[in-house]
Amino acid sequence: MAMLTDLINLDLSDCSDKIIAEYIWVGGSGMDVRSKARTLSKPVNDPSKLPKWNFDGSSTGQATGDDSEVILCPQAIFRDPFRKGKNILVMCDCYAPNGEPIPTNNRHRAAKIFSHPDVKVEEPWFGIEQEYTLLQKDTNWPLGWPLGGYPGPQGPYYCAAGADKSYGRDIVDAHYKACLYAGIDISGINGEVMPGQWEFQVGPAVGISAGDQIWVARYILERITENGGVVVSFDPKPIPGDWNGAGAHTNYSTKSMRSDGGYEVIKKAINKLGLRHREHIAAYGDGNERRLTGRHETADINTFIWGVANRGASVRVGRDTEKEGKGYFEDRRPASNMDPYVVTSLIAETTILWEPSHSNGNGVTAP
């Protein structure tokens, strides 16, 4: 008698050319990731050769019940670390039957910015530091914390090892390897300052692919925590009080910034970000005001400051970038629940396409 795990791990290539494609999309809340699977007659490695599909948008907050069909358009393919073999994960975006992108399709808007000739020539690179918190399933209390109580103060937990300091490493390592298997440019992991909180980094990734990879990495993390019986939270301040929040620091550079003389380009770009601070904050995640308090390695949400090696700034420039006169900078404002399509495209738009002589988006003419 075959065990359940034996059946889950069946190698379909022994008997068929058919594969399973898991279609993934972002739901109506902007943070819920959805998916469903279909059988394909043979392996596919080009998203344009995948069939479009549809789903019931009234069940995801993306359509009304009397006109509920939403169309899934495949955009990026990844290897499936769960089914393995030639099976795939497919990142999709969503359209109405008439071909128009639905209101929650942030990928479509981002793709328009990244396809702009002035943006393409600058080859924007992104490295996103995705923080998250692991919670006990039945209590929604951080993993490793005493039920209804608190661990010792922050300090010993960051990048720590040991049963009294590090909670959930099996989940984290499983996610790390699964992302590498999938073909995601995951560049590292670490334990964070608050116990039960972790971070993974994706990048450098170019343009729209950064958003695709973060969303699929989040999906993989949701699946792994599902299997592990824990809950992943992307809330920017899951525990009130003297605990660090959770962000998605976004490292960014353009070809001009990476070239000789790039430090001057970086300073001009940061100045533009400052002029559009309120517009960026509005797009950088829900509940971010609970995190950006001016404490716990953040700048106050109403203030824009930048500095070299300053982790309490809105934007941080690394020492190496200052020393070499070129490189990248880190926007520390995005919350852990930000939409990477929105954040990456807005940073590219502001720093490459937007001119300060125009309205700064707040009804004020910038100098």
Domains of the chain: 4-104 (3.10.20.70), 115-148+155-353 (3.30.590.10)
Give the whole-angstrom CA distance, residue 126 versus residue 141.
Answer: 32
Report residue 58 as tokens.
Answer: 């009234």
Question: Is 258:327 a contact under the CB 8 Å cutoff?
Answer: yes
Helix, strand, coil abundance in the chain, percent, nearest 5: 30, 25, 45
Give the whole-angstrom CA distance, residue 303 versus residue 111.
Answer: 30
DSSP string, 80-100: -TTT-TT-EEEEEEEE-TTSP
Give the whole-angstrom CA distance, residue 329 versus residue 339.
Answer: 19
In this structure, the number of other CB atoms found within 10 A of the CB of residue 260 comes to: 9
- Provide the residue-wise pLDDT of the chain in tens; the chain has 367 residues: 778 888 888 888 888 999 999 999 999 999 999 999 999 999 999 999 999 999 999 999 999 888 899 999 999 999 999 999 999 999 999 999 999 999 999 999 999 999 999 999 999 999 999 999 999 999 999 999 999 899 999 999 999 999 999 999 999 999 999 999 999 999 999 999 999 999 999 999 999 999 999 999 999 999 999 999 999 999 999 999 999 999 999 999 999 999 999 999 999 999 999 999 999 999 999 999 999 999 998 999 999 999 999 989 999 999 999 999 999 999 999 999 999 999 999 999 999 999 987 544 443 323 2
Give the whole-angstrom CA distance, residue 176 versus residue 211.
Answer: 18
User: Residues 360, 366, 367, CA angle at the centre, nearest 5°?
Assistant: 160
Q: Amino acid identity of 185?
A: D
- pLDDT at 132 (0 to 100): 98
What's this model's pTM, rounded to 2 decimal places?
Answer: 0.95
Strand 315-317, strand 306-308: pairing: parallel
Question: Is 281:288 a contact under the CB 8 Å cutoff?
Answer: yes
Closest to 167 in 3D by CA, of 153, 186, 151, 183: 151
- pLDDT at 185 (0 to 100): 98
- pLDDT at 148 (0 to 100): 86
- pLDDT at 358 (0 to 100): 52
